[in-house]
């Protein structure tokens, strides 16, 4: 698969899907830190624009790094499994059906689609929620790293493609290109 198309997928549908899943968490962290940073800005006379980019940059950088590492290990897993053509086609069909089911679940088309929604374990959900409420300086970076545990449907499809690649380097590049594509929408948020 062409990495440019993976980047475009991240820029369009992937960005919107990830923004819907993780954008509220990022906005919550920024809102919690806003009070602390406004007090610091008055003391040091920093502009507000400089303050706004620090948490977003930390979030996006750690998200990019952790997803690239994840892509490497998923590609390594795919190389260890040595999937034949039929299994690869089954993975791709599963990814397509999963993406369709996730979209139908998000649109509340029918209650049956709610069974296709995978949820992370409760302790991870609690940890992500607590991190999003944190006022610590590195909370956005920690939250960016934890987004591996709260992937959107398109990200899960990219993870299947990374496994399907059977190449750790290409799996890492695939996830890097995808997450890089999602970054502009998070920066705009």
Token pair for residue 40? 């610091």
- Tens digits of pLDDT across the chain (189 residues): 689 999 998 888 877 878 877 777 777 777 766 655 555 555 555 444 555 677 888 889 999 999 999 999 999 998 887 667 887 788 778 877 777 777 777 677 888 877 766 666 677 667 666 666 666 667 778 888 888 887 877 888 888 889 888 899 999 999 999 999 999 988 887
Q: How far apart are CA 51 and CA 45, in angstroms?
A: 11
Number of H helices, E strands in the chain: 8, 0
Is 26 within 8 Å of 143 (Cβ atoms)?
A: yes
Q: How far apart are CA 60 and CA 140, in angstroms?
A: 9
């Amino acid at each position: 698969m062409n990495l440019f198309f993976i980047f475009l997928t991240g820029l369009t549908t992937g960005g919107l899907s990830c923004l819907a899943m993780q954008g509220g968490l990022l906005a919550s962290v920024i809102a919690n830190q806003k009070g602390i940073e406004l007090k610091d800005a008055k003391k040091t006379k920093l502009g507000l624009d400089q303050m706004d980019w620090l948490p977003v940059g930390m979030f996006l950088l750690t998200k990019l790094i952790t997803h690239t590492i994840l892509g490497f290990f998923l590609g390594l897993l795919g190389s260890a499994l040595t999937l034949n053509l039929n299994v690869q086609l089954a993975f791709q069909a599963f990814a397509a059906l999963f993406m369709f089911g996730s979209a139908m679940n998000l649109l509340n088309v029918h209650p049956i689609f709610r069974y296709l929604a995978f949820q992370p374990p409760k302790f991870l959900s609690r940890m992500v929620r607590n991190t999003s409420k944190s006022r610590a300086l590195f909370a956005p970076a920690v939250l960016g790293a934890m987004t591996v545990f709260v992937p959107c449907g398109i990200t899960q499809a990219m993870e299947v493609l990374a496994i399907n690649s059977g190449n750790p380097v290409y799996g890492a590049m695939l996830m890097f290109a995808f997450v890089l594509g999602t970054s502009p929408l998070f920066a705009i948020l």
